[in-house]
Chains A and B, each alone.
Chain A
Amino acid sequence: MTAPLVMVVLPAVAAVVGLLLGGMSRAAAATIAVAGPLAALVVAALLAAEQPWDAPIVDAGFHGVLQPFPAATVVDGLAVSVALMVCFVATLVQIYSIGYMKDEPRYSSYAAFISLFTAAMLAVVVAGDLLFLVVGWEVMGLCSYLLIGQNWEQHEARRAAVKAFLVTKVGDIGFIVGVVVLIGTTGTTLIPNAVQAASSDSTVATVASGLILLGVLGKSAQFPLHAWLPDAMAGPSPVSALIHAATMVAAGVYVVARLYPMFLASPEVLTAMAVIACITMLGAAVIALVQSDMKRVLAWSTVSQLAYMVAALAVGSRDAAVFHLLSHAFFKALLFLAAGAVIHAVGSSALRDTGGLRQSMPVTFMTMSIGLLALVGVFPLSGFFSKESVLVAAEHAAEGDEVVAPWVGWLVLVVAVVTIAVTAAYALRLWMLTWVGPRRGEARPIHETPPVMYVPLVLLAVPTLLFGFTALDVGALPTWIQANATQPLATPGALTPGLLTIALSVTALLVGVGVGLRGRWSSGIGDGRSFLARGLGVDAAYDWLAVRPLLVLVRWVTEFDSGVIQRTVSGVGVGTVASGRQLQRTQRGDVQRYVSAALTALIVAVVITLVAVAT
């Protein structure tokens, strides 16, 4: 078995063992749970240390349509760097969960599902085969369903879990059909070969990447398939950290990056991506501004940040997207785990129950502040560099250096800069409502979380602080991501910030901070029920456009089945009996009538025969 495959199998084995030995002690379950991703992390690190790698594709199985034992894996800078991040975040989430889920009766299955989730994400990351990719992609959807629905006694959790699964599954119609088109037209399931073949034909590229984009919109929570993500808050905080940072949402962006040459061959799809990303970016940020729940603020911020990545992909810079994906993973995991720590301490995630926690939870305060600064994009945190790289890519596109039209670059640039301002405002609002000001909510003693929970925060704060420097020309990241790429991309994205973009973003940042400071947030937290807070009615749109019509269809079909089909079938039976009853009436025992009938029939038969013979 090859190293990348081992990396996938280890957490999967941990998951299976965790599920099979459901009744084992908590300590054993925790050990297995941490061991899985940690072992994968070690493998990933070893793999990274081996650079440069021999061949991009490590082929460990049959491929071809009828031998779907798809174990072909790909080892390149893109895969290894993202795999490192996934393993790192997943390990920390598992460690954190030991403390966070201390009182959870179903801890072992929970931990097993997280391990499975990690394995599935790693499968997507290292997949060198489309079918392998699909397996990881869908299993991830299943795990998100299971984990969001962890507290399935609660109505909210059940609803959110089903919603997450179904909304992403709707996108997966496109994804599956897209993969079918890709396999069908190229005749291979190996990703590099299929992508190369598809990118040489712009029609195929447009159809396949457009369809796959649908799946990406679902997984990466982009408009209009984004509404599951804020609801996914019903899951425990570590799960949110995992979903929002390392797995699930990252998978969408990652898959576009993996199939990027094909997307580059279709400016139409890239343009659509850009428009969608702009809508999502700004809309989600504005919505985040009015949320009344800490985790929902972060959730909408994830939607908005993911849009940055999609926008980067749309304007032709895969590396900027991946860069932002990685740095976002660190700070967003940090933010969610920190939010989880607050919830753990306060017992609620509503912003009306927090405030003034600075003194009682110093470690959480420090790390969360770092995370928020990174989210806003303050120099020299990682968020600054990665966001700059997106802006630089947009600037490039605006100058007409990319496959998309310049106006797309301008659009992305403008919206991204405006979004920076809004981001700064909502981050500041969240920070102030959580940490400064008077303490709201029920009075209870607040303590810092145990080390098993705050150590992961600190560990995540390190890359949040320092990861950005890897993007400078002296840094390793640009070379890393490009390393061993099966198809060297035409534009080795420059991830270094430019002067113009720095100026723009700093201005926007200052405006945002100004707005944030002037807002009287604590007096108007709201109950999260306003039109804006509920996500501009997208849920209602789902309801009216998809759910209700479907339910009507279900009712029609059910009624049609019992009313028409069922009745037709029983009608045949009833009709047979009824016609028998009717014919029975001729059996009245009158021999003369019988003979008359028989004779008449005989005559008719004879006449017919005679006529037939005569003619």
Chain B
Amino acid sequence: MSDQSLLSPTGVDLVFALLALVAVASALMVVSTTQIVHAALWLVVSLGAVAGCYLVLTAEFVAWMQVLIYLGAVVVLLMFGMMLTRAPIGPSDDLTGTNRLVALFAAVALTAVLGVLVVDAFGSTMIDVSGEPSSASVMGEALFRHWVLPFEALSVLLLSALVGAIALSKSDEEA
């Protein structure tokens, strides 16, 4: 693997960069739009772009999981949440709090520190994305051969989360 500067991108780099750009831009929209439903939609775009990134990174199975769970389940859930809490449709001014400057500073500083660190540490490190994509079979083997115990624990966690969610959302009158 030859060392290459960030300023001399390869083709894969460009594809990834474009997808990342879409992800970042739509993420920005998520946190800045004045319409709550738009935010959910921008989130879909962002998460989808991230899924694309996973594909570029040869993480095929993760990409599908991303699409299935995030786009299919999480965002839908969020939409339900909006409806149930009678979220306003159309622009509203009070979606952003009074904390903006401090938040901006914290977020920018955090990003800057982490970014500088990342570039400093891995600025010229290359990864090989030409190999076999991690398909469902590869990941399945890894998960069920090496990660069975956490996987099972996770299933218990999911179950308890499910029970918890039900218990919480039951109204008092029924209890």
Contact = CB atoms under 8 A, between A and B. Distances in A.
Nearest to B110: A603
B99 interface: yes
Given A599-B106, A600-B105, A600-B106, A592 B113 contact: no
Interface string A202-215: 00000000000000
B121 interface: no
Contacts of B110: 599, 603
Contacts of B113: 603, 606-607, 610
A596 B103 contact: yes
A129 B90 CA distance: 107
A596 B102 contact: yes
B109 A596 contact: no
Nearest to B116: A610
Nearest to A596: B102
Interface string B109-127: 1100100000000000000
A596 B106 contact: yes
A603 B99 contact: no
Given A592-B103, A593-B102, A600 B97 contact: no
A592 B31 CA distance: 15
B120 to A, nearest CB: 10
A607 B97 CA distance: 27
Nearest to A593: B99
B109 A603 contact: yes
A592 B109 contact: no
- Identify which of B97, B105, B106 gathers the most chain A CB atoms within 10 Å of its CB: B106
A607 B106 CA distance: 13
Contacts of A606: 113
B106 A592 contact: no
Give the dominant DSSP class at A's interface.
Answer: helix
A364 to B, nearest CB: 103
Interface residues of A, number: 11
B104 to A, nearest CB: 10
Nearest to A604: B109
Nearest to A614: B120
Contacts of B99: 590, 592-593, 596
Secondary structure at the B interface, as helix, strand, loop or mixed, is helix
Contacts of B105: 600
A597 B105 CA distance: 11
A610 B112 CA distance: 13
A590 B110 CA distance: 21
B91 to A, nearest CB: 22
A410 to B, nearest CB: 95
Nearest to A597: B102
Contacts of A603: 106, 109-110, 113
A593 B99 CA distance: 7
A610 B109 CA distance: 14
A145 B50 CA distance: 102
Interface string B60-80: 000000000000000000000
A592 B102 CA distance: 10
A590 B113 CA distance: 26
Contacts of A592: 97, 99, 103
Interface in A299-327: none
A193 B106 CA distance: 85
A599 B114 CA distance: 13
Contacts of B97: 592
Interface string A575-605: 0000000000000001011001101100100
A589 to B, nearest CB: 13
Nearest to B117: A610
A247 B99 CA distance: 90
A606 B109 CA distance: 11
A306 B71 CA distance: 118
Nearest to B107: A599
Nearest to A590: B99
Contacts of A599: 106, 110
A597 B99 CA distance: 11
Contact of B109 (A590, A593, A600): A600
Contacts of A607: 109, 113
Nearest to A603: B109
B107 to A, nearest CB: 8
A589 B169 CA distance: 24
A590 B98 CA distance: 11
Contacts of B102: 593, 596-597, 600
B123 to A, nearest CB: 16
A576 to B, nearest CB: 28
Contacts of A590: 99
Nearest to A601: B106
Contacts of A600: 102, 105-106, 109
Interface string B74-102: 00000000000000000000000101001
A214 B145 CA distance: 106
A597 B97 CA distance: 15
A596 B108 CA distance: 12
Nearest to B112: A603
A592 B113 CA distance: 21
A144 B109 CA distance: 85
Contacts of A593: 99, 102
A606 to B, nearest CB: 6
A606 B114 CA distance: 10
B44 to A, nearest CB: 25
Contacts of B109: 600, 603, 607
A610 B105 CA distance: 19
A564 B53 CA distance: 71
A447 to B, nearest CB: 106
Interface of A: 590, 592-593, 596-597, 599-600, 603, 606-607, 610
6 contacts: A596-B99, A596-B102, A596-B106, A597-B102, A599-B106, A610-B113
Given A592-B99, A593-B102, A610-B113, 16 more contacts: A590-B99, A592-B97, A592-B103, A593-B99, A596-B99, A596-B103, A599-B106, A599-B110, A600-B102, A600-B105, A600-B109, A603-B106, A603-B109, A603-B110, A603-B113, A607-B109
6 A-B pairs closest in CB distance: A596-B102, A599-B106, A603-B109, A600-B106, A592-B99, A596-B106
